[in-house]
Amino acid sequence: MIEKEMHYLEYLVEKQEKGTITEAERRLLDHFFSEEYQRAEWDGEQMGKKAAVSAGIYTQIKKQAHFAKSWTSYIKYAAAALVVLIVGAGILLNAKINPKEVTLSTAAATDSVKLADGSVVYLAAHSTFRYPQRFAHQVRAVTLVKGGAFFKVAKDHKHPFIVSSGAVSIKVLGASFHIGLDNDKTSVKVVAGFGKVTSAKQMVFLKPNESAVFTAAAGPHYMSL
């Protein structure tokens, strides 16, 4: 049998498997088997009964067609699953590296939020505070965008707590302090613990009851209470 005829035979077998074969195509398929066996010299003792062998060959062709179809479907599904896994892994990895940020804004009333590490932030009226849902890096970084806030930071010597606010950055391991933003001025007052405050021009350490005011044009002004 030539290759073209074989492909057409497989095509008919596949249609038979799907249940879409026409009556004319079914007769053609049956005719092929009967014609081939009649042309061949048959030895029943060595080759078996024609009917049984015919059924076996037909079954094997169906299996091969079904296997090819199933394998093609498997490849499609496997590829789709792989894409889903890659995308899912990418989303998960991105979520671990860059956790979602939350922005909390107050109007005329105050508000408070407990962070993932146990630290508590008390936000003054007309303030905006930005923080991650969880801390995924070596530092616990948050931002006071505007207004004022009192921070009661949970102690964690391995993960410093850093607040960016205006032109300054306040770094503590565990402390309580207040930050206020007023136009171009940023005030910092430490209530408990120690804080390292840095700006573009200078770095200072504040002890309990010490405060400093930073401006964009000048360095810090200190005040002890």
Ramachandran sector of residue 217 (left: φ over 0; alpha: ψ -120 to 50; beta: rest): alpha
Render pLDDT for 121-161 as a digit per residue (tens, 0 to 9).
Answer: 898 889 898 988 888 778 888 988 888 888 888 888 888 88
Phi, psi of 199 (to 5 degrees): -130, -175
Which of 12-21, 154-163, 180-189 shows the lowest per-residue confidence on average (mean pLDDT)?
Answer: 12-21
- Which residue ranges make up each domain of the chain? 3-97, 101-224
pLDDT above 80: residue 167: no
- CA-wise closest residue to 177 among 217, 139, 144, 220: 144
In CATH terms, the fold of domain 101-224 is Jelly Rolls (2.60.120)
Lowest mean pLDDT among 18-27, 81-90, 126-135: 81-90
Residue 91's pLDDT band, with cuts at 50, 70 and 90, is very low
Of the two residues 32 and 73, the one the predictor is more confident about is 32
Say which DSSP state 179 is in. E
- What does the buried/exposed string (b/e) look like for 166-183 if buried means 16 or more CB atoms within 10 Å of the residue's CB? bbbbbbbbbbbbbbbbee
Model-wide pTM > 0.75: no
Residues in a beta bridge with 123 = 111, 149
Instruction: Identify any residues that bridge with 161 across adjacent strands, giving them in sequence order.
Output: 140, 172
Distance CA 123, CA 150 (A): 7
